[in-house]
């Protein structure tokens, strides 16, 4: 009985025993894997370690964005057009210095978000940062349009952050939503 064909041809095992044994082995293997496998944990639970950090970074980002917004509105457009970031940090003009410091803070927080934020939050933050830096470089000819676009970017970032933190079902007062 050296081979399977010799074993089956000797008449000791009926021909149907091999397929039945294979079928039973497959069933036992599937059952064993199912019972042994750990339950699937939702992504929200496995990724919960970054929630406090993401929340903190987003709060810092929004604070720096608000400071940048206020400074952009206060700074004279001619001064803004001539200013360089390195010179603005050391400027005697408090609004220009606050603007430069907030842009640097935004840059740092966007880099932190690149490490901890999900894609939608990072996309909203980088778009918001790009909008603010473009307004810093180009100036703001229409204050009302700037404020509207600022609120849109802020709302997008807050919405993406709330969604990623699982806070979508929580009712938010209109004053907070509108910024």
Both 55 and 13 in one domain: the answer is no
Within the chain, strands assigned E span none
Q: What is the pLDDT of residues 131-163, one digit of tens each?
A: 999 888 877 888 899 999 999 999 999 999 988
Both 52 and 26 in one domain: the answer is no
Task: State the pLDDT at residue 5.
Answer: 66
Cβ-based neighbours of 70, under 8 Å, separated by 6 or more:
98
Both 170 and 127 in one domain: the answer is yes
| Whether residue 86 has pLDDT greater than 60 | yes
Total domains in the fold of the chain:
2
Both 163 and 141 in one domain: the answer is yes
Angle among Cα 147, 177, 80 to the nearest 5 degrees reads 25
Residue 42 inside a domain? The answer is no
Both 112 and 173 in one domain: the answer is yes
Both 69 and 110 in one domain: the answer is yes
Q: Which tops the pLDDT comparison, 77 or 129?
A: 129
Task: State the pLDDT at residue 45.
Answer: 47
Closest CA to 110 of 61, 72, 157: 61
| Range with the largest mean pLDDT of 71-75, 83-87, 99-103 | 99-103
- Give the side-chain half-sphere CA count within 13 A for 120: 11
* pTM of the complete model: 0.66
Q: Residue 14 belongs to what domain range?
A: 4-36
Task: State the pLDDT at residue 106.
Answer: 93
Residue 41 inside a domain? The answer is no
Both 18 and 76 in one domain: the answer is no
Both 9 and 80 in one domain: the answer is no
Residue 146 inside a domain? The answer is yes
Both 58 and 32 in one domain: the answer is no
Q: What is the pLDDT of residues 20-76, one digit of tens each?
A: 888 888 888 877 777 766 665 555 544 555 578 888 999 999 999 999 999 888 888
149 in Cβ contact with 89 (< 8 Å): no
């Amino acid at each position: 009985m050296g081979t399977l064909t010799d074993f089956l041809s000797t008449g000791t095992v009926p021909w149907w025993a091999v397929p039945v044994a294979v079928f039973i082995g497959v069933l036992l293997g599937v059952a064993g894997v199912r019972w042994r496998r750990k339950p699937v944990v939702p992504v929200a639970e496995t990724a919960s370690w970054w929630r406090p950090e993401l929340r903190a970074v987003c709060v810092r980002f929004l604070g720096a964005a608000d400071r940048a917004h206020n400074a952009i509105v206060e700074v004279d457009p001619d001064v803004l057009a001539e200013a360089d970031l390195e010179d603005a940090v050391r400027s005697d003009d408090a609004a220009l210095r606050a603007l430069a410091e907030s842009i640097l803070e935004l840059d740092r927080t966007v880099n932190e978000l690149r490490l901890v934020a999900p894609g939608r939050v990072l996309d909203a933050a980088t778009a918001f940062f790009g909008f603010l830096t473009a307004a810093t470089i180009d100036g703001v000819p229409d204050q009302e349009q700037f404020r509207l676009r600022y609120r849109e970017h802020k709302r997008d970032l807050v919405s993406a952050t709330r969604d990623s933190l699982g806070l979508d079902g929580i009712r938010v007062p209109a004053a907070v939503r509108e910024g």
